[in-house]
Amino acid sequence: MPDSLLLVTAEAEPESRPVAAALYFMDDQTLYGRYWGCIEQYDSLHFEACYYQGIEFCIERRLQRFDPGAQGEHKIQRGFEPVRTWSLHRMAHPDFHRAVDRFLDEEREMMQEQIEMLNTWLPFKQPGD
């Protein structure tokens, strides 16, 4: 398991005590990230630990992909494209299952519209530009 994990930590001076960490999982092609936690806030530390360190690690290890996790328009300006993601859940109560299904029907359409809109924010040239 140690070969499947990356832990990025941040320490505060002068006593070099840990103040934040980002935990990633990986396989031979992809870095999957990140579980983030901090006990103190520092300007831009979240971006450094959760995105920039992950990008650098992928480049150094020649990984093909960095999946930074779901949500966050702030990822667009850091070069991450919006992608559809999914999760799998089982609802034991039939009425609750139906209610969640109805919500997800609406959510899928809204998420597709948001992905299309966020794609217009990407800093990359589009075909035909």
The answer to whether the beta carbons of residues 85 and 92 sit under 8 Å apart is no
Query: What does the pLDDT read at residue 62?
Result: 97
Classify residue 77: in a domain, yes or no: no
| pLDDT band per the 50, 70, 90 thresholds, residue 129 | low
Nearest residue to 21 (alpha-carbon basis) of 34, 2, 5, 3? 34
What is the chain's mean pLDDT, rounded? Answer: 89
Q: Are residues 56 and 87 in the same domain?
A: no
Q: Are residues 105 and 129 in the same domain?
A: yes
How many folded domains does the chain comprise?
A: 2
Q: Are residues 41 and 94 in the same domain?
A: no
Whether the pLDDT of residue 61 is over 90: the answer is yes
Classify residue 75: in a domain, yes or no: no
Q: Are residues 5 and 45 in the same domain?
A: yes
Classify residue 116: in a domain, yes or no: yes
Average of per-residue pLDDT across 16-20: 92
Nearest residue to 27 (alpha-carbon basis) of 75, 53, 66, 59? 66
Q: Are residues 3 and 62 in the same domain?
A: yes
Q: Are residues 113 and 53 in the same domain?
A: no
Average of per-residue pLDDT across 54-61: 96
Whether the pLDDT of residue 39 is over 90: the answer is yes
HEC letters along 52-111? HHHHHHHHHHCCCEEECCCCCHHHHHHCCCCCCCCCCCCCCCHHHHHHHHHHHHHHHHHH
Determine the structural domain holding residue 29 and report its residue range: 1-69
Query: What does the pLDDT read at residue 80?
Result: 86
Query: What does the pLDDT read at residue 122?
Result: 83
Query: What does the pLDDT read at residue 1?
Result: 80
CA-to-CA distance for 51 and 36, rounded, in angstroms?
Answer: 11
